[in-house]
Amino acid sequence: MNKLGTAFFITGLTMSFSTGTALAANTADHPAEAAKSTEQKIEGMLLPFMSPSKGRKLFASKGCVVCHAINGIGGEDAPPLDANTMPRIMNPFDFAAKMWRGAGTMIAVQQDELGEQIEFSGEELANIIAFVHSIDEQKKFSKADIPPRITKMMGHAETEEKDHDEKEESEEGKKPKE
């Protein structure tokens, strides 16, 4: 256990606490400690260990990739989430708060594109946030990570967008010129 004072670092992610004791989670600096536990405890709080590799799989399997792209792989309906565009040090709770602010829109799009709202556990969300911030893990992300059912949805969304654009162009051609 290490006293961390006001900041707790996880490979570039930071969580601020006024006091507390935490299990060191930076696997680069403390691999033996990280291997012992998948959770960090801070005075009555349980924080999941943040795994970028699990987050990579979840980003694809949960359908985030339908709207968001990583390194050009994925949708274009929402901002890309390339780690190299993120601040070097990031508070994961700020990232979650940003998601919360866009929740209404994201839920509507999820229901339209995926047929239902995506559900996340706290651990899943922590892993996705770790992936979104990990340049090394994002280098491994490829179309092969995307499950066939999600790939099919992505193709469906592209077809719908193309059909919508063609319909608009057709309607514009029918309008009388002024």
pLDDT tens by residue, 120-153: 999 999 999 999 999 999 999 999 999 999 998 8
C-alpha distances in Å from residue 70, one per residue of 1, 75, 97, 131: 35, 9, 20, 10
Q: Is pLDDT of 30 > 80?
A: no
What is the overall mean pLDDT for the chain? 76
Question: Domain 52-167 classified CATH 1.10.760?
Answer: yes
What percentage of the chain reaches a pLDDT higher than 90? 45
What percentage of the chain reaches a pLDDT higher than 70? 63
pLDDT in tens, 50-77: 999 999 999 999 999 999 999 999 999 8
pTM beyond 0.85: the answer is no
| pLDDT band (50, 70, 90) for residue 169 | low
C-alpha triplet 153, 166, 79: angle, nearest 5°: 50
Instruction: Domain ranges for the chain, please list them.
Output: 2-48, 52-167
| The pLDDT value given to residue 145 | 96
d(CA 82, CA 72): 9
d(CA 52, CA 75): 20
Nearest to 138 by CA among 52, 68, 75: 52
| The pLDDT value given to residue 26 | 39
| The pLDDT value given to residue 155 | 76
Residue written as token pair 């994925």: 74
